[in-house]
Structure 1
Amino acid sequence: MKSPMAFALIFTLFSAPLAAVAADGSPEEPGAPASGCPEYLNHSFKKLHSSDMVNICDLYTGGPMVIINTASHCGFTPQFKDLENLNQKYQEKGLTVIGFASDDFNQAAKDEAEAATICYKNFGVTFTMLAPTSVKGKNANAVFQHLNEEAGEPGWNFNKFLITNQGTTIKKFGSRTRPMNSRLEDTLKKSL
């Protein structure tokens, strides 16, 4: 019969958490996202007009990201077309574009089906669009809380946050900054 001490040792060995190991075989820090994704992006959200969830870190490639707060019935809504063009032009170089639908400025579609039609059918969006969440104030989602602290919260729809240098640099471009042929694109090109 085994002693209580032996059972304690066996229990300790089998209940201890396994150390996380990165792809290169080196140990990862506990709680760190597997891809080197910044912790502030390590949050899951529901995709637009879907029951699927996506963690932003699963989309992160290590390259630059453009995160936008969007609305379906805004004067800036046609920017979806140029955002998609930006996505198509630079995605093979590591760019990730993510749209956060929001009704913080009272210009969202009445439901997600209508918002999805506007994004996907009317403007041909292929980048990830997320279901409506708040992007400003105390109710801002976790990603926007960080973006807002670092670069200032959106004053309107279609603010574009460019995240570079493995997530350490965040620059905000306002609603009037077009996605293509603009300061945003110029800054993005320097980070590729």
Structure 2
Amino acid sequence: MSVHEYKVKTSSGFTANLEKYKGKVLLIVNTATKCGFTPQLEDLQKIQERYQEEGLQILGFPSNQFAEQEPREDGEITKFCAMNFGVNFPIFKKIDVRDQEADPLFTYLASQKPFQGFNMEHPTSKLLTSIINDRYPHYMEGDSIKWNFTKFLVDREGNVLERFESTTEPWDMDEDIQKALA
């Protein structure tokens, strides 16, 4: 099995086959526009621009599962990301990324790379951990997505290489992205 076997919905509701990204290194991210991590979109776009010629493609999947931090409709999300952060990588239809209704792509991604914990050196790690433990303790169970801006690095054949949690800043993945592109 590989990421390329999955189909997803575009923000306009069309079905897209991820097979079209075969041969590209993917960075798949669950996003939200009203999250403390939303500014990561700016650096994600810079990474897209820096490495797109070498074959990197970032794919954004909005989710409203974490403290309702994605209240916008699909078209509005794409517009917001473009206008506020210059995002031109694909932003797909809003989906669930965990629990019973999770999109199969994210269930697969989480099954391929287990949760290894948050980067506790990130300035918001303790606050994020406290919020999850107090309000959403079941989020910490298992390997499912814990919060917005969980990032998965996928090789050109569709194999999941790495998982980076919300508390990993985009440029902290640079070395891993370069290795995947080499």
The verdict on how the C-alpha distance between 1:75 and 1:148 changes in structure 2, with shifts beyond 3 A counting, is same
- 1:103 partner SS: coil
Cα distance in structure 2, aligned partners of 1:44 and 1:168: 16
What percent of counterpart residues are identical? 34
Structure 1 residues 3-152: aligned runs within 5 Å:
39-48=2-11, 50-58=12-20, 60-105=21-66, 106-152=68-114
Q: Structure 2: where are the runs of 5+ without partners?
A: 115-143
Query: Is 2:152–2:160's contact at 8 Å kept on the other side of the alignment?
Result: no
2:27 is paired with a residue of what secondary structure?
A: strand
Residue among 153, 160, 176 paired with 2:167: 176
CA root-mean-square deviation: 1.7
> Could you tell me the TM-score, scaled by structure 2's length?
0.76
Unaligned segments of structure 1, at least 5 residues: 1-37
User: Which TM-score applies when normalising by structure 1?
Assistant: 0.72
Q: Which has the higher contact order (CA 8 A, sep 6+)?
A: 2
- The structure that has the greater radius of gyration is 1
- Equivalent pairs counted in the alignment come to 151
In structure 2, the CA distance between the partners of 1:138 and 1:189, relative to structure 1 (3 Å rule), is: same
Q: Is the 8 A contact 1:147 1:170 kept in 2?
A: no
For residue 65 of structure 1, report the CA deviation from its aligned partner: 0.8
Q: What amino acid sits opposite 2:50 in the alignment?
A: K
Maintained 8 Å contact 1:61/1:94: no
Distance change (3 Å), C-alpha of 1:43 and 1:166 = closer
Distance 1:176 1:170 in 2: 18
Per-residue deviation, 1:96 = 1.3
Contact 1:42/1:57 (CA < 8 Å) preserved in 2? Answer: yes
Provide the residue aligned with 1:8 in structure 2: none
In 2, Cα distance between equivalents of 1:96 and 1:66: 6
2:175 is matched with which residue? 186
SS at match of 1:119: helix
